[in-house]
Amino acid sequence: MIKLHHTHELSPKQCSSFLVQVIDAPLPLVWSLVRKFDKPQCYKNFISSCTLISGEGGVGSIREVNLVSGFPGKKSIERLDILDDDMHVSVFSILDADHSFLNFKSTITLHEDKQEDHQEKEDIIGNNYYKTVAIQSYVVDIPEISCGDDTCEVTDNILRWNLRSLAWVAENMDTTDQVSSLNLNKKEIAC
């Protein structure tokens, strides 16, 4: 699955990378945050607001994302390309932006960490507790005034911050009122 979703063909003017974040929360809870195309600000701190301009949040939907002040740009227009609830895959592309992340395409996949050393959490929320591994990869154009290494470094830093924020939000959610420990798939988390 990793090869399928995180291997990208690049043109000479593009760069790509991937990041991994282990999240101490169950996959259904983390997925409920990631899958919300209309609410990326739930865990992406560089986004101040988001408005769907086409669609209802499913594949093909287009959103306008407004960025926080201090970010090198004010907004971007993004399309949801893939949303697979069974395989936990989300892919979006930037269609237009006033920042330097042109032809940006991001893929995030979630995977259960099936290690057996999670007894403490199992005692709290029930059997079969696993951590979640988030893998995010991307492709982006290299600006003319930059090089591939610098472009990847900046992009990696932003995405790393987003993944750490996703981990913090998921790990600090009070799931007792919002998600049944017996069936985490039944209810989405409100943001």
Per-residue pLDDT of 3-38, as tens digits, reads 777 777 888 999 999 999 999 999 999 999 999 999
Rounded to 5 degrees, what angle do the CA atoms 82, 3, 81 make? 10
Architecture of the 2-8+15-171 domain: 2-Layer Sandwich (3.30)
Domain boundaries, the chain: 2-8+15-171
pLDDT value, residue 125: 47
Per-residue pLDDT tens digits for 54-110: 999 999 999 999 999 888 789 999 999 999 999 999 999 999 998 888 899 999 999
Place of tokens 């290299």: 142
d(CA 41, CA 97): 17
First-to-last C-alpha distance (Å) of the chain = 29
Q: Is the predicted pLDDT of residue 122 greater than 80, yes or no?
A: no
Per-residue pLDDT tens digits for 123-152: 444 555 689 999 999 999 999 989 999 999
| DSSP 8-state secondary structure symbol assigned to residue 39 | -
Mean pLDDT of 109-131: 67
Round the average pLDDT of the chain to a whole number and report it: 86
Contact present, 19 and 175 (Cβ < 8 Å): no
pLDDT value, residue 105: 96
Q: Is the predicted pLDDT of residue 176 greater than 60, yes or no?
A: no
Give the distance from CA 188 to its chain's centroid. Answer: 16
| Residues with Cβ within 8 Å of residue 179, at least 6 apart in sequence | 28, 29, 32, 186, 187, 189
pLDDT value, residue 79: 98
pLDDT value, residue 137: 96
- Residue with the bigger pLDDT between 158 and 188: it is 158
